[in-house]
Amino acid sequence: MADENLQSNKVAVLTIPGHDPIELPILKGTEGPEVIDVRALGSHGYFTYDPGFVSTASCKSKITFIDGAKGILLHRGYPIDQLATQTDYLQVCYLLLNGDLPNQEQYDSFSKRVKYHTMVHEQINSLFKAFRRDSHPMAIMCGIAGALSAFYHDNLDIYDPEHRYLTAIRLIAKIPTLAAMSYKYSVGQPFIFPKNNLSYAGNFLHMMFATPCEEYQVNPVIEKALDRIFILHADHEQNASTSSVRLAGSSGANPYACIAAGLASLWGPAHGGANEACLRMLERIGTVERIPEFIAKAKDKNDSFRLMGFGHRVYKNYDPRARVMEQTCHEVLNELNIKNHPIFDVAVELERIARSDDYFIERNLYPNVDFYSGIILNAIGIPTNMFTVIFALARTVGWISHWIEMNEAEDSRIGRPRQIYVGTPTRDVIAMANRKPCDTPNNEF
């Protein structure tokens, strides 16, 4: 039952009263702690209980490694700060998909291939028209991503490696186009075609801010900052949205449907929706004088308010992405000559106060990637309701890389968690005339 390649020659012994000891192999990956392989438990009539999968590995993966205690994030072994400062987003896409950074020739051919696929089917324009003008762009993205399978069904054999790779390229190429279209639609402007002589980030900025009447000059500092934001969001191991993509894909579902599942999961404020929620929170706080009031709310167990952009399931140290993001934030504000940015001032002071407060120290709550990203996006003119779309755009490569890895894995099985049933024990149906009124009628809300 144990995985040959991961065997550590150690076993854990589980002692259950009235049962012979159960030996569970201990596995070891290339990095990270040892892992107890509980797969054999089922044959002994037991399974484990782990809400939120805090202690459960759902798969093996070669893509990303996080050491939350030390604040380390590696993609295919490379530290995130080196990738953010020494490569660009398309190199990171290549890395996540192929296992190593490209040389110049591989990079040129990969970029060319991605650029070739940036346009979307003309009929997709009509799909946009079915949405209300004031729709949240993430609502549009969830719908449109799923609809892509209706347009690109010619290459949807999930067992064919070429089809899988082509789908990955199409998604990386088309998601920025669709993201910009969702913005243009909401402001009533015509869609702008992709411009393939621009960089990946430059093209996105152009599709967002150009109009047919006016040329848009891409500012290289903003272009670089956006590219860095894309890199910092490209992948993050088995987070909620990536796990959603894998779970949807484990049934053999088509990749566009799986990406739609990822988008839906990402949208929540505890995950990718945090960047939008964080900026709205900073705006609501408004001035540094009001920070203590909000710190008190965040600490109050009877108040549902949380400091957005703070805390992380895995990082119990500074999120390494947040460090790069803070630095980028300084660069962008300098370039744009924004001397007094009230929201930035609130963010810096909020971080200072929270990091010296026992509540946050004891719980290892540090700023995460979303704490500063919203300020950068705001400064470069991206509307707040597009923040999570930008996260989704960047994360698409992570989702599809995991989807491919899962489809390549020999031990991949349909995802099917167990549960502890806490409902009514077995009982018999009685005739309606003899039934007492149901005392938990949800349908009366």
The residue among 27 and 274 lying less far from ligand CMC, judged by its C-beta, is 274
The amino acid occupying position 331 is: E
Give just the sign of the alpha carbon dihedral 231, 235, 239, 245: positive
The residue among 148 and 346 lying less far from ligand CMC, judged by its C-beta, is 346
Tokens of 62: 């070669």
Residue 195 sits in the site that holds ligand CMC (CB under 6 A): no
Residue 365 sits in the site that holds ligand CMC (CB under 6 A): yes
Beta carbon of residue 308, minimum distance to ligand CMC (angstroms, whole number): 5
Residue 71 sits in the site that holds ligand CMC (CB under 6 A): no
CB-based contacts of 153: which residues, under 8 Å, 6+ apart? 254
Tokens of 61: 């993966």
Q: Residue from 28, 60, 280, 306 that binds ligand CMC (CB under 6 A)? A: 306
The residue among 37 and 370 lying less far from ligand CMC, judged by its C-beta, is 370
Residue 270 sits in the site that holds ligand CMC (CB under 6 A): yes
Nearest to 235 by CA among 395, 94, 88, 77: 395
Residue nearest to ligand CMC as judged by C-beta position: 311
Residue 298 sits in the site that holds ligand CMC (CB under 6 A): yes
Residue 402 sits in the site that holds ligand CMC (CB under 6 A): no
Beta carbon of residue 270, minimum distance to ligand CMC (angstroms, whole number): 4
- Active site (annotated) includes residue 357: no
Element (H, E) at 176: helix 161-186
Beta carbon of residue 445, minimum distance to ligand CMC (angstroms, whole number): 26
Q: Residue from 137, 255, 311, 320 that binds ligand CMC (CB under 6 A)? A: 311
Question: For 122-127, which contacts have Cβ atoms below 8 Å and span 24 or more sequence positions?
Answer: 123/151, 124/151, 124/178, 124/181, 125/181, 125/191
Options 312, 330, 341, 357, the catalytic residue? 312
Beta carbon of residue 354, minimum distance to ligand CMC (angstroms, whole number): 8
Residue 145 sits in the site that holds ligand CMC (CB under 6 A): no
With contacts defined by CB under 6 A, name the span among 14-22, 106-114, 340-348, 360-368 that binds ligand CMC. Answer: 360-368
With contacts defined by CB under 6 A, name the span among 80-88, 203-211, 269-277, 376-384 that binds ligand CMC. Answer: 269-277
With contacts defined by CB under 6 A, name the span among 12-20, 182-190, 304-312, 400-408 that binds ligand CMC. Answer: 304-312
What number of chain residues touch ligand CMC (CB under 6 A)?
20
Burial environment of residue 406 by CB neighbours within 10 A (0 to 12, 13 to 18, 19 or more): buried
- Active site (annotated) includes residue 370: yes
At 408, phi and psi to the nearest 5?
A: -85, -20
C-alpha–C-alpha distance, residues 398 and 395, integer Å: 5
The residue among 19 and 284 lying less far from ligand CMC, judged by its C-beta, is 284
C-alpha–C-alpha distance, residues 238 and 241, integer Å: 8
Residue 224 sits in the site that holds ligand CMC (CB under 6 A): no
With contacts defined by CB under 6 A, name the span among 60-68, 135-143, 302-310, 344-352 that binds ligand CMC. Answer: 302-310
In the 3-class helix/strand/coil scheme, how is 305-333 assigned residue by residue?
Answer: CCCCCECCCCCCCCCHHHHHHHHHHHHHH
Residue 368 sits in the site that holds ligand CMC (CB under 6 A): yes
Nearest to 96 by CA among 171, 4, 163: 171
Nearest to 232 by CA among 278, 209, 201: 201
Nearest to 315 by CA among 371, 265, 358: 371
The three-state secondary structure class of 172 is helix
The residues of the shown chain that bind ligand CMC, judged by CB under 6 A, are: 236, 239, 270-272, 274, 298, 306-313, 363, 365, 368-370
